Each structure stands twice: as C-alpha cells, then as structure tokens.
Structure 1
Amino acid sequence: MDETSYRDRIDQLVEPGERVLAYVKADAAKGAAPAAPSDAAEPAAPAGRLSGGAILFNLISPLVSWGWGDRLVDRMLWGVAGRGAPGSAASRLHHALHPPRPDLAVRDTLLAVTDGRLLACVSGPMKLLSSREDDDRSVAGTGIAWSAARAEVASARVGWHRLNPKRLRIDFTDGSWLAFTVPIAESGRPLRAVAAALSG
C-alpha cells in the first residue's frame, strides 16, 4: 500500500487551518501496558488467585488466556511498553487503540502531529491479499481514535529497547507514557520526525 495516501487522508481529518507536521505508521509496542481507564469495559477475570499453571498455559497456548497471566508474560517477553494510572493520557491512548471487544480485523495505526495536537488514527479493516480497491477502502475508513493537545505531551524520543533500535516513547505531562515501534526492516526516520515535531 502507498503510505502517502494516508497523508492525504490525515489532511482530510484535521481541523481547517490545522497543519500536519509529521506522521508515522507504527504499532503500540508489545509489552506490559498502562492500566485501562476505570470506565472501560474489561473482560471478566476468573475468580480466585491464579496459579503457576495459569501462567504456564499463557506461555504454551495463546488461545488460553487469563488477564493477569497475559500481563506477566508480556512483561517477561517484551518488557514494559507503557505506564500510567487508569484514565491517564497513556491509558486512554492505549485503550483507544486496543478496544476491549475487537472485531479481529487487521488495521493500521498512525500517529500524526499537527501544530496543535497529537492524533492517533486507525485505518479501516484490511485484507491480507488485497487489491488496490481494498486498500483504498481501508484508507478511506481511517479515522481519529484519540487526540490530545500538544501541551499534554512532555517529551518524545526514539531509542533502543532490547534489540529494537527504533522505539518511540511519548511521555505525557501527567507522568504516563506509551511506546510505539515500526518493524525492524523499516526506516526509523518517520518515528524520529514525529519525535522531533512533538519536542519542537
């Protein structure tokens, strides 16, 4: 898919007179994430304490899932991908990108920085073997999932995390933070452009 079509779509989504400074197609980093907002619907957790068997099942089969075990496995395998109290900026952003009842469709995540806001956009559903028309429908279905004023962003930087040299960490003024990555084979230049736009 031609990623410049996303730029055209983002230009359509921003307010009149709002200027897009940078954007990147990136995914929220894997790992332990901020707590969900308190008003978010969460899957029901099993009653009682979870045993080591629950953690083992989480490791052996991704189809067997317990929330507490998932978080522990994420922390062990991927590390920490974000922190924040329920309702913090990072919590709301992560929840907007990962709703509690996903439709299981594959979607692209885009971060865009304008002269006034940080936007998190989500594309329309995508197909694995797609035609040009399918790609156009996916881009046309792109919408803003979350936004925040630039004043809510304390800092942004790209750096190493474990073996990945391209991880964007966005820190918010409420003390929360969330990380984003691009595939290792892709350039980190768009991530650095977003970090520079947020820090500038």
Structure 2
Amino acid sequence: MTTDPVDGRRERYAEGLARLLDPGEQLRALAQAREGMGAGPADPQPPQPPADGGGPGFLGVVLNVLGPIITFGRLDDAVTRLFFGVSGRGGPGSAASLLRHALTVGKVTDLRESVLAVTDKRLLLATTGRMTLTSGAAADDRARSDLEVRFALPRAAVAGARVGWYRLNPRRLRIDFTDGSWLAFTVPLGESARPLREVASALSG
C-alpha cells in the first residue's frame, strides 16, 4: 500500500507546526497554498514623501526621471486586473496587506512552500525550510518539518472564509477579515481543493 504524497506532505507540515503552537493550542486544519493571481491589497507601508528641503533635491529629480516608469507600473496593475482579476483588497497595514507581504517575502529567491494553518486560537502562515531542485525526498521531508511562522492573527480578526469559483478557477479560498480587507489563495496546479475547504470550514466554524 502506497502513501499519498499529498498526505505525506501534510503529515510533515503537521509535525513542524506542532512545535510552533502555544501550550494547549490545537491544530484544526492546514493546507499548502499560494496567493491567488490578480491585483492584491496595498503594500504594508505607503511610499514616504520626501522631506521639505526648499527645492526638488536629488530625490525629486530622480522621481521626475522615473515618472514614466511609475506610470507604467500603474498600467501593469490595470493589465493584471484585466486578465487575472482581483486577488485581494485592503489598505496599507490591513490584515490582508500584512498577510500578502508575509506570503511573498523571499518567494522569488527561495524554494519554500507556504502553509496556511488554523488553530483554535489563530490563523497562521508558515513557510518550510529552503529546498533545492536536487535535494531529494528525505531532505524535502526535513524541510517541510522545519516550519517558520511568518504571520499570525487571532481567529477573532477573521470575519469568514469560503472556497468557490473565480473566473476559471474553481479552487480559490477567500479569507475576509474584520477590518474589511480580504485575500485569496489557491492550491498548486493538479491538487485537490479539499485542504482549502477544511481551512475555510475551520475559520468559519
């Protein structure tokens, strides 16, 4: 009898999370997840205006030069919305903004898996240890057990969660927060949405 690789990963995640929970805290659900495609909430901190120095100064000159690039950045946002829709909303410092920032930090340079977990007290975002393309199954299992919490929020800050269709994706988890912000997640291609549904049920129950 063979072990389902997805269930094996979940066991490794659960082992790693067990070491990170507070005494008496109970794990309710977990899922490997990634940010949904689309335009997301604002960055945690808005750009700071330059200090008033009586003139444009060096930074002012640089911003004038980069003006067209900034404009293209806004155009990119519009194109993202057109093709992929919206993956979250929220102002700087909102729950969705902070969660998205934690989810995306290091994703380009590190091969890590992101795990959403729900306990009886908190919503957690954890990442595995760093993996490589040639690390092998045993090393990957160790990395999946070596979890680090990147974000934690009390359950009371979650207003609700649900899994459903969005455009052509039937496996999208949306988490709504009590501050009015929200963020969407999906599972890796080809995997079941069952873990996301378990997370949604645990957050809504």
- Same fold, TM exceeding 0.5? yes
- Which is worse superposed, 183-192 or 131-140? 131-140
Whole-Å separation in 2 of the counterparts to 1:116 and 1:160: 28
The code of the aligned residue for 1:12 comes to R
Distance in 2 (CA, whole Å) between partners of 1:179 and 1:109 is 14
Contact 1:166 1:184 in 2 (8 A): no
In the aligned structure 2, how far is the partner of 1:109 from the partner of 1:94?
12
- What residue is the counterpart of 1:22 in the other structure? 29
Is 1:172 paired with 2:148? no
Unaligned runs of 5+ residues in structure 1 are 55-66
User: Does the aligned pair in 2 maintain the 1:37–1:88 contact within 8 Å?
Assistant: yes
Equivalent pairs, count: 184
Q: Which runs of 5+ in 2 are unaligned?
A: 49-61
Look up the equivalent residue of 2:172 and give its one-letter code: R
Q: 2:42 aligns with which of 19, 23, 35?
A: 35
Q: How far, CA to CA, are the matches of 2:114 and 2:29 in structure 1?
A: 14
Aligned-pair CA distance for 1:16:
1.1
- Whose helix proportion is higher, 1 or 2? 2
Q: Match for 1:111 among 86, 108, 116?
A: 116
- Residues 138 and 74 (structure 1), Cα distance of their counterparts in 2 relative to 1, 3 Å cut: farther
TM-score by length of 2: 0.81
Deviation at 1:107, TM superposition (A): 1.2
1:123 maps to a residue whose letter is: T
State the partner residue of 1:57.
none
Asked if the contact 1:107–1:123 (Cα under 8 Å) also holds between the matched residues in 2, the reply is yes
Q: Secondary structure at the match of 1:90?
A: helix
Residue 194 of structure 2 aligns with an amino acid whose one-letter code is: R
Q: Aligned equivalents of 1:47 and 1:40: distance in 2?
A: 14
**Cα RMSD after superposing both structures:** 2.4
Give the match's secondary structure for 2:190. coil
Q: Structure 2 vs 1, CA of residues 117 and 184 (structure 1 numbering), >3 Å: closer, same or farther?
A: same
How far off is 1:196 after superposition? 0.4
Matched ranges for 1:136-147 at <5 A: 136-147=141-152
2:66 aligned to 47, 51, 59, which one?
A: 47
Percent identity between matched residues is 49
Structure 2: distance between partners of 1:50 and 1:143: 36
Residues of 1 paired with 2:116 and 2:89: CA distance?
19
